[in-house]
Amino acid sequence: MNRWFVGALITLALIVLVSPGIVGHLAEKRVEENLVFATSESDEIVVTTESFERGWFTSEGRHRIALRDGPFRALFEDEAGSQVPSLIIDTHVDHGLVPLTSVSRESGSLKPGLASTVSTVRIDSGAGRIFEVPGKIYSQVGLTGETASRFLMEAGSRKIDDAAFDWQGADLMVRTKPSSGSVAYEGEILPFSFLDQSGGFRLGSITIAGQQQQTPYSFRVGSARLELDSLVVDGGGDVQTAFGRFTVEASNELVGDRVNGAANVLVSGIPAPTLGEMNLAIDIVFSRFDARSLQGVIGALQDAQTSADPQEALANVYPLIERDVQKLLASGLEIRFDQFDVTLPNGDLTTKLHLELPESDTDADFSWPAVILALNASADVRIPVEVFELAEMMSPDVGMLLAMGILKKVDDYYEMRAEYAKGLITVNGAPMPIPLQGL
């Protein structure tokens, strides 16, 4: 019993006193891995280590996050020469399987792991001015690199030149696991504002939540939600434009080698001259997208956006993605707009769309006319009479939609019900064949 007790004490002493120096080497690597992982979604961002002074129990590191040479960096350079802003992150690391030194500071913890860290952020304007970002980031780095980070910011205000910043605080939590490529986040940013002599904006509370998982392809899948209580844009003087609540929810998943997803957007209190205040609701669903083809399209578009001349690259990108686009369509897919509604004081403008392509022989020669023939589609549109009459006053050509039978009046609405299959469109019950050359 005594031998067991003495052995346990020796083991505990080794963990507490010896492990910090050994673990410090691993902690440095893990801290840098998590910074790189956090910025891995953008090819425009580069992370560099400016310093890392490793001690036995604690370490101090400084990293810089900057824009890589590319179109986004060029935007800043065009405006201010070489004055390109960057972020400076200073991190204090308490390392060891039992990080005793972290207990003496705020948000310290004895939770076993590689490191317990606290970071501060500064903005380097690129013109010789450094701005402190309020708040601190507290992190726990686990034994396998998983990290739980919490950003805490108290209420405050700051004046820079003639601009005034006011904020009520923030509390955000992010959990990352670089080994598996997963990330989860949640939190709230309380109201804040920016105002100068020319105007500015006021944002209500923002809540966010989401999670993502890396796939074998060049994209992640998961879910996300963002909710903004309100937005007021100040144009200077007494000119103000106010928006109501804004909510976005999106998700996607990988099932075998296919990608399915959905997105929902709700916006209330949108100012609309002449029409009055309106609300917007959008509900989109897509399914059966071939993941390998999607990977090729996404990769080519990302390469074009980060090229020296993005506009030219995007204009000439189709030959690079043509085979992937063809494979994507030949593999079959479905897109639905279950809701695209605009709510107005004098009625609701509603739209529903459905596009579906069945899977075809991927080894056969690709043909656009064959794709069009295989397509099944439908569209339902309802427009309030008052809205249609207002549009007709602004543009008399709108009346042609009635003359052509595309719209018909039903009670207090003008409606269009269209279906397409095998080269034939039926609009409000009337067939309208489409000539397809080469068939």
The 10s digit of each residue's pLDDT in 178-191 is 777 788 999 999 99
> What pLDDT score was predicted for residue 406?
83
- pLDDT value of residue 3: 52
pLDDT attached to residue 16: 42
- The pLDDT of residue 106: 58
pLDDT at 22 over 50: no
The pLDDT value given to residue 159 = 85
Q: Is the pTM for the entire model greater than 0.85?
A: no
Confidence of residue 33 (pLDDT cuts 50, 70, 90): low
> Is the confidence at residue 1, as pLDDT, over 70?
no
**Confidence at 109, pLDDT banded by 50, 70, 90:** low
pLDDT at 88: 85
Please give the Cα distance from 100 to 111 (Å, whole number).
10
Residue 111 has pLDDT above 80, yes or no: no
Q: What is the mean pLDDT of the chain?
A: 80
pLDDT at residue 184, as a whole number: 92
- Residue 107 scores a pLDDT above 80: no
Identify the residue with better confidence: 16 or 200. Answer: 200
Parallel, antiparallel or unpaired: strands 163-167 and 130-141:
unpaired
Q: Up-side HSE of residue 40: CA atoms within 13 Å toward CB? A: 18
Summarised one tens digit per residue, pLDDT across range 292-349 is 999 999 888 888 877 777 788 888 888 999 999 999 999 999 999 999 999 988 888 9
Q: What is the pLDDT of residue 23?
A: 45
Rounded mean pLDDT, 26-49: 63
The predicted pLDDT at position 307 comes to 75
Q: What pLDDT is attached to residue 97?
A: 56
Q: What is residue 26's predicted lDDT score, i.e. its pLDDT?
A: 52
The answer to whether 293 and 324 are in contact (CB under 8 A) is: yes
Local confidence band at 147 (pLDDT 50, 70, 90 cut-offs):
confident
- Top mean pLDDT of 90-104, 139-153, 226-240, 376-390 is at 376-390
The confidence score (pLDDT) of residue 210 equals 94
pLDDT given at position 382: 93
User: HEC states along the chain?
Assistant: CHHHHHHHHHHHHHHHHHHHHHHHHHHHHHHHHHHHHHCCCCCCEEEEEEEEEECCCEEEEEEEEEECCCHHHHHHHHHHCCCCCEEEEEEEEEECCCCHHHHHCCCCCCCCCCEEEEEEEEEECCCCCEEEEEEEEEEEECCCCCEEEEEEECCEEEEECCEEEEECCEEEEEEEECCCCEEEEEEEECCEEEEECCEEEEECCEEEEEEEEECCCCCEEEEEEEEECCEEEEEECCEEEEECCEEEEEEEEEECCEEEEEEEEEEEEECCCCCCCEEEEEEEEEEEEEHHHHHHHHHHHHHHHCCCCHHHHHHCCHHHHHHHHHHHHHCCEEEEEEEEEEEECCEEEEEEEEEEECCCCCCCCCCHHHHHHHCEEEEEEEEEHHHHHHHHHHCHHHHHHHHCCCCEEECCEEEEEEEEECCEEEECCEEEECCCCCC
* Residue-wise burial string across 161-199, b where 16 or more C-beta atoms lie within 10 A, e elsewhere: eeeebebebbebebbbbbeeebbbbebebbbbbbbeeee
Contact 64, 100 (CB under 8 A): no
- Is the pLDDT assigned to residue 11 strictly greater than 80? no
